[in-house]
Structure 1
Amino acid sequence: MDTTAEELAVLLAQYQQERLEYLAWFEQQLQLLQTLKHGVELLLLVVSYLIYYLADCVAEVLALSPPNVF
C-alpha cells in the first residue's frame, strides 16, 4: 500500500510540475499576443494617418485651378 501511495505522490508532483510549466508557457504566449496587439494597433494608427494625408493631398490637387493650355 505504501508503494501505491508513493507512486501516486510522484505522479501528483509530476502533474503539478507540468501544470506550472504549462501555465508559464500560457502566460508567455499571452504576453506575446498583447505585444502583437499593440503593434497592430500602432500600425493601424500609422496607416490611417497616411490615408488621411493622402486624401488631403488629393483634395489640394483637385482644388488647384487647371493650367491655361491655350
Structure 2
Amino acid sequence: MKISKKLNLLTSVLVFLSILGLSGHTASAQTTQTMQTNLWPSNPNWQKYVQAPTSRDVHPVKVVSISR
C-alpha cells in the first residue's frame, strides 16, 4: 500500500513538472518571438517623456545627504 502511494505521488509530480515545463517553454518561445519583432517602436519619440534638464549645463542645487 505504501509503495503504490509513493508511486502515485511520484507519477503526479512528474506529470506536473512535464506540463509546467512544456507550458513554460511555449511562453518563453512566444516572448522571444515578440521581443525580436518589436526591437524599436514605430514612432520613437520617447525623448519627450524623459524628465531631464533641457541643457547640458547641470549644477547641483543642494546636498541632501552624505555618507561616511
TM-score (norm 2): 0.57
CA distance in 2 between counterparts of 1:15 and 1:36 reads 31
Which has more radius of gyration? 1
Gapped runs of 5+ residues in structure 1? 49-70
Give the TM-score taking structure 1 as reference length. Answer: 0.56
- Which residue type is aligned with residue 15 of structure 2? Q
| Structure-2 residue corresponding to 1:40 | 38
User: Which residue identity is paired with 1:12?
Assistant: L
> Which residues in structure 2 correspond to 1:47-62 (within 5 Å)?
47=43
SS in 1 for 2:38: helix
Q: Where in structure 2 are there 5+ consecutive unaligned residues?
A: 45-68
CA distance in 1, matches of 2:23, 2:34: 17
Say how many residue pairs are matched.
Answer: 44
Query: CA RMSD, aligned part only?
Result: 1.6
Question: Percent identical across equivalent pairs?
Answer: 5
Q: Which residue of 2 aligns with 1:56?
A: none
Q: Which position in structure 2 is the counterpart of 1:13?
A: 11
**Distance in 1 of aligned mates of 2:30 and 2:42:** 21
Higher helix proportion, which one?
1
Determine helix, strand or coil for the equivalent of 1:29.
helix
